[in-house]
Amino acid sequence: MKTVKKSCTRATLVFFLLFFFTTNCINNKERFEDPPWLGGSSIETLEGEGNYTIYLDLMKKAGYTEPITKQLFTLFVPNDDAFNAYFSERGIGGVDDLSEDEAVQLFTLHVLRNPRSSFQLIYEFAWNELQGPDGEYASLFFRKETKSETFPYIEVPRYHPVYGGKERWITPSYNKLVPLFSIDYFEDVFGALDGSDYTFMYRESEWGGLNWHNAMVTDAEVRTSNGFIYYIDKVVPPIPNLEEYLLQNQDKYGLYYDLAQRFANYESAGVDEFKRQMWYKTYDLISNFAEEQGPSPSDDANNPTRMKDLFTMFVPPDDVLQDYLDKTVFQTYTSIDSVPEITLYYILQTQISHSLALISKASKRYFNSFGDAMTIQPEQISDAYMCSNGLVYEMKEVLEPNVFSCVPGKLFFDKNYSTFLHAVNKSNLIGELANIDNPVTLFAPSNDELEEYGIRYNKTGDNIKKRGTDGIWLNIQEEELIMFVQDHIYYGVIFDLSDEGFIEMSSKNFVHFNNNTLAAGENVQLGVDALASKFEPNDRNGMLVFIENPIMSKWEMGQQIMSDPDMSEFANLLIQAEMLDPNYVDQLSKDTIPNLSFLNEADYWTAFIPDNDAVADAMADGYIPEYDPENAQPFKEVLQYHFIRKSTIFDDGKLSGTFPTNRVEEVTALGTIYSEVEISNSTHNLVITDLSGQSVPVGHANANAIVQKGVVHKIPSFLKF
């Protein structure tokens, strides 16, 4: 049976082979025709098409024929008609009119190393994985690195303190990245899928669902034996970056570009093959729109973030920007050179975004560089141009940051308040003054008044200085500056100061107001009130109040106690108990200021200081124990009982109740228990009831001495527990 089966199997095989060869001889050519994806080489494919001769000529002149013959590439190929239109538009006779460098620059915008299918072109291999449709970044890595570069060029810096007026050779910092726009990309960034975002950026291009910069892909993923060909309908021209584009178009954007040059910097890039010293152009403070990689540069070649982000610059042409400056800064400043750098910074930086602002999204909600929410409508934009590192929208108006339209806005444009503007900026408090969700009142003293007080702005060092007690101007310490500015900020809106009362500033210091004047501790001591001369309501977040003389809070509790002769006996007791250091050197101001050692335990204090007669009576009654250095606590406790912690109480009728003093009664597992006093408070009638049952009235004439961190009241009796 096995022999018969084997024989039958052989017979069947012979019959099948005879049938196969007989039937296939009829159409042998069709059966064995090369599949379309195999093809010849990329060059052979283009030669066979016949209408891509200029592309091949450009390839040859650029020196890429041999590499593309032997290696694997992805080619973006315009036909001869597209090249002829490109050459005609630019007044070029053809490839022969290009230098070798120009040919390389142009050709390399149409080629990528390695073969890429449409899928591989849209979805990058990044962060050690292919970012497919379900990947974390999907198609967001849409910028593709080429070998094209900008040619070095000469620039004469305008305002640089070292290089100003001296020629610099500027060289590119990186190769050009060309954007590939696809339906997938617009879907992943929640843009318009109908191509309207694309045609809004590229005014003279058509959307085809897959576009290589300004060119529509007409035939995608043509496979060859050494790569892929994507046929495109236009030539991709040399692409300037934002810096180069603005430099080349100063007839339209010269004013914005000139303002930006005040922030320009230059970094050495070594020497080129012609022994020329080369430089990288950069910008400090404002976004570095000269960076070829875009807003997310990386020195790590494996970091793909540069492929994800583009700048967007909303650039007003000269007439629009000039009109804006005329209506703002030039109302008080006579030249742009006298305008504070911080004002120019906000004007420039508000027009720069670190992401691609698609009009379909920006018209609904857009956040500027400072996080301010706004909308940008198509009718605000007159033109658009895509650069290699970002998009330029030509604007019909200047975008304003919240700081300009909120409470501090007028300070940016008024030369008489530039010192206070710099102080607010240096203290990093501008942001909270421009928060439209938090109403504020800002009190602003003028330059002259600050100078008289002893505070000025030093333009050379870009810092705030204060006049010391010896008359020498020194840099003010950051903490001291922050406290000074916070003394001029009130959380809430004040419409009227004609009545009398006390307000807490953001510094947590208090200010007394009466009949449109304000006074903190030092104001009282110097006899110089801050007069509220003008109220400027702001419909976005509060009130700006111009004041004559600054609010001066530099008056410590220790100073108040030691400055009053009628408190000298209690002051001596505090010194004896080592609770008060009369010769303390302040670590910020370096001034010698009497200091109560325990004040740092809380932000708010109320001191009830017995007068000299009250101290004498307490001593006569034997209530104050002898000071024993070996056991000083009983002595300290009688003094500690005169300080209320964590509350600042005036005789304004606002606070009444039971309050803890600074005397520790007991330390438990649940925390410290402090001895208390009862406060009965009505307007100009403050009464303290201590633990002995004694009620001590505070005479209005001896009440409300404002100090930093609180208030001091002089009382006629010693408090007892």
Per the DSSP assignment, residues forming a β-bridge with 395 are 381
Task: Specify the number of domains making up the chain.
Answer: 5
What is the predicted pLDDT for the residue at 585? Answer: 84
Residue 38 confidence (pLDDT): 55
In a domain, 564, yes or no: no
Q: What pLDDT shows up at residue 591?
A: 78
721 assigned to some structural domain:
no
Q: pLDDT over 90 for what percent of the chain?
A: 88
Same domain for 596 and 707, yes or no, is: yes
Q: Which of 609, 610, 631, 632 is nearest to 621 (CA)?
A: 610
Token representation of residue 346: 């906000």
Place of tokens 């900020």: 489
Give the pLDDT confidence score for residue 418 in this predicted structure: 97
pLDDT over 70, % of the chain: 94
Predicted confidence at residue 30, as pLDDT, reads 41
For 589-651, give the secondary structure using H, E and C: CCCECCEECCHHHCCCEEEEEECHHHHHHHHHCCCCCCCCCCCCHHHHHHHHCCEEECCCCCC
Q: Mean of the per-residue pLDDT values for the chain?
A: 93
Residue 639 lies in a domain: yes
Does 332 share its domain with 410? no
Domain coverage including residue 215: 37-145+179-238
> Shortest CA distance to 591 belongs to which of 559, 621, 637?
559
424 lies in the same domain as 518? yes
**What pLDDT, on the 0 to 100 scale, is given for residue 39?**
64
Mean pLDDT in residue range 14-35: 39
Give, as one character, the DSSP assignment of residue 47. Answer: H
Q: What residues does 660 pair with on adjacent strands? A: 676
State pLDDT tens for residues 472-501.
Answer: 999 999 999 999 999 999 999 999 999 999
Within 10 angstroms of residue 336's Cβ, the number of other Cβ atoms is 15
Angle of helix 318-327 versus helix 250-260 axis, rounded to 10? 50
Domain end position, chosen among 377, 400, 423: 400
Extract the tokens encoding 261: 């040059």
Contact of 239 with 210, CB cutoff 8 Å: no
Q: Does a structural domain hold residue 246?
A: no
Span 253-269, mean pLDDT? Answer: 98
Q: Are 205 and 195 in contact (CB under 8 A)?
A: no
Determine the pLDDT at residue 588.
67
Q: Is residue 16 predicted with pLDDT exceeding 50?
A: no
Q: Are 207 and 213 in contact (CB under 8 A)?
A: no
pLDDT, residue 6, reads 35
On whether both 416 and 517 belong to a single domain, the answer is: yes
What is the average per-residue pLDDT within 651-669? 95
* Same domain membership, residue 684 and residue 637: yes
- Supply the angle between the helices 418-426 and 341-349 in degrees, to the nearest 10: 60
Asked if 296 contacts 284 with a C-beta cutoff of 8 angstroms, the reply is no
Domain membership flag for residue 300: no
Instruction: Indicate if 57 and 21 belong to the same structural domain.
Output: no
From 127-136, 241-250, 319-328, 586-595, the region with the lowest mean pLDDT: 586-595
Q: Would you state the structure tokens that stand for residue 476, as one six-digit string?
A: 């003010």
Is residue 17 over pLDDT 60? no
State the pLDDT at residue 260.
98
Summarize pLDDT for 592-627 with one digit per residue, the tens. Answer: 889 999 999 999 999 999 999 999 999 999 999 999
Helices within 183-317 (DSSP H only) = 183-188, 196-201, 242-248, 250-260
Distance CA 457, CA 364 (A): 41
The whole-number pLDDT of residue 457 equals 97
Give me the phi and psi of 40, to 5 degrees please. Answer: -95, -160
**Angle at Cα 493 formed by Cα 491 and Cα 498, nearest 5°?**
115
Assign 255 to helix, strand or coil.
helix
- Domain assignment present for residue 375? The answer is yes
Q: Strands 111-113, 73-78: parallel, antiparallel or unpaired by DSSP?
A: antiparallel
Return all residues near 331 (Cβ < 8 A) that are at least 6 apart: 413, 414
What's the whole-number mean pLDDT along residues 635-640?
96
What confidence score (pLDDT) does residue 11 get? 37
pLDDT value for 385: 98
The verdict on 327 and 448 lying in the same domain is no
Q: Could you give the CA distance from residue 441 to residue 491 in angstroms, rounded to a whole number?
A: 6
Residues 60 and 25 placed together within one structural domain of the fold:
no
Each residue's pLDDT tens digit, 399-416: 999 999 999 999 999 999
Question: Across residues 65-78, what is the average pLDDT?
Answer: 97
Read off the pLDDT of residues 346-364 as tens digits, 9 standing for 90 and up: 999 999 999 999 999 999 9
Mean pLDDT value of segment 334-353: 97
- The CATH number given to whatever domain includes residue 187 is 2.30.180.10
Query: Which region, left, alpha or beta, applies to residue 127 given φ > 0 means left and ψ of -120 to 50 means alpha?
Result: left
pLDDT tens-place string over residues 414-462 = 999 999 999 999 999 999 999 999 999 999 999 999 999 999 999 999 9
Report the amino acid identity of residue 157: P
Pick from 684, 717, 687, 718: which is nearest to 701 by CA?
A: 684
Claim to verify: residue 441 and residue 316 sit in the same structural domain? no
Question: Domain for residue 258, yes or no?
Answer: no
| Cα(210)–Cα(703) distance, integer angstroms | 78
Looking at residue 212, its amino acid is: W
Do 335 and 410 lie in one domain? The reply is no
pLDDT tier, 1 (very low <50, low <70, confident <90, very high otherwise): very low
Within this chain, do residues 22 and 133 fall inside the same structural domain, yes or no? no
250 lies in some domain: no
Given this model, what pLDDT does residue 136 score?
87
339 plus 193 within the same structural domain: no
Per-residue pLDDT reduced to its tens digit, 141-174: 999 999 999 999 999 999 999 999 999 999 998 9
